[in-house]
């Protein structure tokens, strides 16, 4: 950070954001931040004059800084980098939170039968980076057996349908060679109906046991 003319802090965790602010102040580096959910002034947005030209970006989620900026990674988990560089052969993105992988249309990780479950909504999305030099070659999906109102599942990758059929009871492996040259993989799991359970307001799609990228 000492080598930066300024840092833009893009960290959701309020404690980590406050720590990065304090480090920047201690080393005398200008900083800018959109703020964090603190009740005092220390967490409010701060954009000093010239912040657009700051050369460094501090983050715990995005694996790439904007053009012209240096990335400073502050997440403890570096598995996404190890996977992209080929040091890991598989990357679990559905039943584990991985910094650098985003999701929407999901309800969060839950403990279940000694493992982890993640419910999707009717359409759950996962976005993972891809390195064309060492690309993901397969996608493996395993679901927990649950009573569902839906009968069919459609899986798309970057908008292309790679599976459409009965919701699988056994693990499903899908080749990804077609997408090897692309720099990200947007995976959507969509059911033909929602499932509702008594005393639970959520609308469920499928219960993900494993959603794993492999080399």
CA–CA separation, 85 and 70 (whole Å): 18
**Domain of 168, in residue numbers:** 80-214
What is the structure's pLDDT at 182?
Answer: 97
Number of other residues whose CB lies within 10 A of the CB of residue 114: 5
What is the structure's pLDDT at 43?
Answer: 59
What is the structure's pLDDT at 195?
Answer: 98
Whether residue 152 lies inside any domain: the answer is yes
Residues 68 and 141 in one domain: no
Whether residue 2 lies inside any domain: the answer is no
Name the token pair of 185.
Answer: 């993989």
Residues 64 and 123 in one domain: no
Strand order in the sheet with 7-10: 31-33, 7-10, 56-59, 70-73
Residues 133 and 190 in one domain: yes
Domains identified in the chain, total number? 2
Residues 112 and 18 in one domain: no
Answer with the one of 73, 97, 119 that is the final residue of a domain.
73
What is the structure's pLDDT at 36?
Answer: 57
Q: Specify the pTM.
A: 0.81
Domain of 144: which CATH number?
Answer: 2.60.120
Residues 131 and 95 in one domain: yes
Residues 24 and 124 in one domain: no
Q: Could you tell me where the beta strands, DSSP code E, fall in 85-206?
A: 90-92, 102-112, 115-129, 138-143, 152-157, 160-166, 172-175, 184-191
Whether residue 195 lies inside any domain: the answer is yes
Cα dihedral: 142, 186, 190, 195 (round 10): 70
Residue of 81, 99, 31 lying closest to 19 (CA atoms) = 31
Measured CA angle at 92 (ends 88, 96), to 5 deg: 125
Low-confidence ranges of the chain (pLDDT < 70): 35-43
Answer with the one of 30, 53, 73 that is the final residue of a domain.
73
Number of other residues whose CB lies within 10 A of the CB of residue 67: 5
Residues 104 and 188 in one domain: yes
């Amino acid at each position: 950070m000492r080598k930066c003319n300024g840092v833009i802090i893009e960290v959701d965790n309020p404690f980590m954001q406050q720590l990065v602010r304090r480090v920047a102040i201690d080393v005398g580096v200008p900083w800018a931040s959109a703020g964090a959910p603190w009740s005092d002034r220390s967490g409010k947005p701060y954009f000093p004059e010239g912040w657009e030209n700051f050369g460094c970006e501090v983050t715990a989620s995005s694996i790439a800084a904007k053009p012209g900026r240096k990335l400073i990674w502050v997440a403890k988990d570096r598995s996404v980098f190890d996977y992209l560089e080929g040091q890991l052969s598989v990357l679990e993105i559905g039943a584990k939170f991985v910094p650098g992988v985003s999701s929407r249309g999901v309800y969060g990780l839950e403990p279940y039968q000694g493992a982890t479950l993640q419910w999707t909504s009717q359409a759950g999305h996962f976005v993972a980076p891809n390195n064309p030099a060492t690309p993901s070659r397969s996608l493996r999906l395993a679901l927990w057996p649950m009573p569902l109102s839906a009968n069919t599942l459609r899986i798309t990758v970057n908008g292309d349908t790679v599976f459409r059929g009965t919701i699988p009871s056994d693990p499903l492996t899908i080749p990804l060679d077609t997408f090897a040259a692309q720099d990200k993989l947007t995976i959507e799991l969509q059911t033909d109906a929602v499932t509702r359970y008594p005393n639970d307001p959520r609308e469920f799609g499928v219960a993900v046991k494993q959603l794993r990228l492999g080399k």
